[in-house]
């Protein structure tokens, strides 16, 4: 959520309930929540401060915004603290290697947005379900005299079976990846309110670019920039999922942070007609290999053209045609032991050593993979990072956008149009394009 962010103590958000209205004479500070204070000798105007949700509210919808409003004064400070729920778990170590519940101070801190004259402050993010929340707001009148108001309330628990959690993510924290690497987030439950969830996930890079999220099904969100990442930089993904209402009555329960590095720029181009594979690193050609692609007599045995990404690699791999629906004992079946395999799609395509193929550089004779000599395959295996662009040209079978990580097959215009927000986001750390709160149910 973009805006003039005001950082406070601990992340959370409040509800849009009937507000807590305290009338204070400017100059009186430290008033108890729910009390009226009329002391003081100042001549300035009376300060009216409203905090929503109201003091003492219970089962506040976690996706409700905290709103602070001041009359005849400007708001000078808002602090939000929450305890309990899954908030405490955010500082605990995680067994999952992919992303950790965040104890990062910046991610844990609530931010909010002022209006132009600082008479209204609205929280940017959502609350942790089942938390006890304290909001402390300070306002100041034209004489410089301050008044402080406090509201304490609790949020609705996320019930078993309706807790949105991060199931997996690529890349994982600590990884170094190629310049084409997207951010892939898999959830454990379907997401209906995709716009609110998109706006709860913020990507920040050292060299800011435009990017956007797309959804592939209801449980997987993918972020990619307009163009490849600039090499040799850090990228942070803040998943502020706590309190977001993913579907009716389904709330995120924890925040997560993913930190990864973009490495050197390595782009590989395979020319199907010339039977060559050229590797460029940081704009310079470093290797050209003779190869043999899919023989092309059937669609299944035709190597896909388009912008692929290297996905995973195996020093040793058994390739079994039955995994592609072709029985091993059929005329077209196979079961091969291969070395130095690098996957570039989910339709069974790898680069790998094929010492039995005597047509490298001369003809296409494989089942769809890119065959190489053992020495060349070993070099490519050792030099590849997950997310390196791998571009194939010259075949009559196009890579589908959802075949492996074929996300660069979608034009930037179509990518933005397929985002739930319908607009790009800049990875500058200034927030996401829109609102994370959505509609809220009223608490009892």
Query: What does the alpha-carbon distance between residue 62 and residue 12 come to, in Å, rounded to a whole number?
Result: 8
Domain annotation covers residue 312: yes
Range of the domain at 365: 266-408
Mark whether 291 and 216 lie in a shared domain.
Answer: no
Query: What does the alpha-carbon distance between residue 142 and residue 326 come to, in Å, rounded to a whole number?
Result: 79
Token pair 């008044």 is found at 147
Mark whether 403 and 294 lie in a shared domain.
Answer: yes
By C-alpha distance, which of 50, 223, 46 is closest to 143? 46
Mark whether 418 and 400 lie in a shared domain.
Answer: no
pLDDT for 42: 58
Domain annotation covers residue 35: yes
Mark whether 196 and 326 lie in a shared domain.
Answer: no
Mark whether 303 and 391 lie in a shared domain.
Answer: yes
By C-alpha distance, which of 6, 279, 297, 311 is closest to 138? 6
Q: 126: which DSSP letter?
A: P
Token pair 């500058």 is found at 428
The first and second tokens of residue 198, run together, are 């998109």
Residue at which a domain ends, from 94, 128, 154: 154
Query: What does the alpha-carbon distance between residue 218 and residue 99 come to, in Å, rounded to a whole number?
Result: 20
Token pair 């949700």 is found at 53
Mark whether 277 and 336 lie in a shared domain.
Answer: yes
What's the whole-model pTM score? 0.86
φ, ψ of residue 412 to 5 degrees: the values are -60, -40
Domain annotation covers residue 440: no
What's the CATH number where 195 sits?
A: 2.60.40.3710
Token pair 């019930």 is found at 159
Per-residue pLDDT of the chain (444 residues; tens, 9 = 90+): 654 332 322 223 333 333 444 433 333 333 334 323 222 345 667 889 999 999 999 999 999 999 999 999 999 999 999 988 864 544 333 334 456 555 455 566 788 999 999 999 999 999 999 999 999 999 999 998 899 999 999 999 999 999 999 999 999 999 999 999 999 999 999 999 999 999 999 999 999 999 999 999 999 999 999 999 999 999 999 999 999 999 999 999 999 999 999 999 999 999 999 999 999 999 999 999 999 999 999 998 999 999 999 999 999 999 888 877 888 878 777 888 999 999 999 999 999 999 999 999 999 999 999 999 999 999 999 999 999 999 999 999 999 999 999 999 999 999 999 999 999 999 999 888 888 998 765 544
pLDDT for 16: 32
Residue at which a domain ends, from 124, 154, 184: 154
Mark whether 287 and 193 lie in a shared domain.
Answer: no
Mark whether 260 and 313 lie in a shared domain.
Answer: no
CA angle 345, 349, 354 (to 5 degrees): 150
CA dihedral of residues 108, 248, 157, 68 (deg, nearest 10): 50
Using CA atoms, how far residue 72 sits from 33, 34, 116, 138, 144, in Å, is: 20, 20, 15, 13, 12
17 contacts: CB under 8 Å, gap ≥ 6: 52, 53, 54, 57, 60, 64, 442, 443
What's the CATH number where 294 sits?
A: 2.40.440.10
Told to judge if 352 belongs to the known catalytic residues of this protein, a careful annotator would answer yes
Mark whether 183 and 136 lie in a shared domain.
Answer: no
Q: Which of 28, 256, 275, 369 is catalytic?
A: 369
Query: What does the alpha-carbon distance between residue 232 and residue 179 come to, in Å, rounded to a whole number?
Result: 9
Domain annotation covers residue 81: yes
Domain annotation covers residue 444: no
- In DSSP terms, which residues pair with 239 in a beta bridge? 201, 256
- Residue 80 · residue 8 · CB < 8 Å: yes
Domain annotation covers residue 435: no
pLDDT for 120: 98
Query: What does the alpha-carbon distance between residue 316 and residue 304 come to, in Å, rounded to a whole number?
Result: 23
Mark whether 206 and 78 lie in a shared domain.
Answer: no
Q: Which of 275, 352, 367, 437 is catalytic?
A: 352
Mark whether 321 and 260 lie in a shared domain.
Answer: no
Mark whether 258 and 277 lie in a shared domain.
Answer: no
Residue at which a domain ends, from 154, 171, 199: 154
Domain annotation covers residue 22: yes
Told to judge if 369 belongs to the known catalytic residues of this protein, a careful annotator would answer yes
Number of domains in the chain: 3
What's the CATH number where 124 sits?
A: 2.60.40.3780
- Residue 203 · residue 223 · CB < 8 Å: yes
Domain annotation covers residue 437: no
């Amino acid at each position: 959520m973009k805006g003039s962010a005001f950082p406070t103590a601990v992340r959370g958000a409040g509800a849009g309930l009937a507000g807590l209205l305290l009338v204070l004479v400017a100059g009186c500070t430290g008033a108890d929540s729910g009390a009226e204070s009329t002391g003081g000798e100042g001549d300035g105007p009376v300060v009216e401060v409203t905090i929503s949700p109201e003091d003492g509210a219970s089962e506040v919808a976690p996706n409700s915004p905290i709103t602070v409003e001041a009359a005849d004064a400007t708001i000078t400070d808002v602090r939000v603290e929450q305890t309990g729920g899954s908030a405490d778990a955010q500082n605990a170590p995680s067994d999952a290697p992919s992303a950790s519940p965040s104890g990062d101070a910046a991610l844990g801190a609530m931010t909010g947005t002022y209006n132009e004259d600082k008479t209204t402050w609205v929280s940017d993010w959502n609350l942790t379900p089942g938390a006890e929340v304290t909001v402390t707001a300070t306002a100041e009148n034209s004489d410089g005299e301050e008044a402080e108001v406090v509201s304490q309330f609790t949020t609705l628990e996320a019930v078993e079976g309706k807790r949105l959690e991060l199931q997996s993510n690529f890349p994982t924290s600590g990884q170094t990846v190629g310049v084409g690497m997207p951010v892939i987030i898999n959830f454990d439950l379907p997401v209906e309110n995709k716009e609110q969830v998109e706006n709860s996930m913020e990507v920040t890079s050292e060299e800011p670019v435009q990017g956007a999220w797309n959804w592939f099904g209801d449980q997987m969100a993918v972020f990619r920039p307009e163009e490849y990442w600039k090499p040799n930089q850090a990228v942070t993904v803040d998943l502020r999922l706590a309190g977001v209402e993913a579907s009716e009555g389904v709330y995120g329960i924890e925040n997560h942070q993913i930190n990864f590095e973009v490495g050197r720029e390595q782009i590989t181009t395979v020319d199907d007609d010339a039977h060559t594979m050229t590797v460029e690193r940081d704009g310079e050609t470093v290797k050209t290999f003779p190869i043999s692609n899919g023989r092309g007599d059937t669609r299944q045995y035709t190597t896909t053209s388009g912008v692929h990404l290297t996905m995973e690699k195996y020093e040793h791999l058994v390739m079994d045609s039955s995994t592609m629906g072709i029985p091993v004992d059929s005329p077209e079946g196979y079961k091969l032991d291969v070395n130095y395999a690098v996957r570039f799609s989910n339709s069974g395509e790898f680069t790998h050593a094929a010492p039995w193929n005597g047509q490298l550089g001369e003809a296409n004779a494989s089942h769809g993979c890119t065959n190489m000599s053992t020495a060349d395959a070993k070099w490519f295996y050792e030099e590849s990072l997950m997310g390196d662009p791998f571009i194939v040209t010259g075949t009559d079978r196009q890579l589908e956008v959802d075949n492996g990580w074929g996300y660069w097959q979608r034009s930037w215009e179509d990518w933005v149009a397929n985002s739930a927000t319908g607009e790009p986001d800049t990875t500058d750390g200034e927030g996401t394009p829109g609102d994370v709160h959505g509609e809220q149910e009223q608490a009892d």
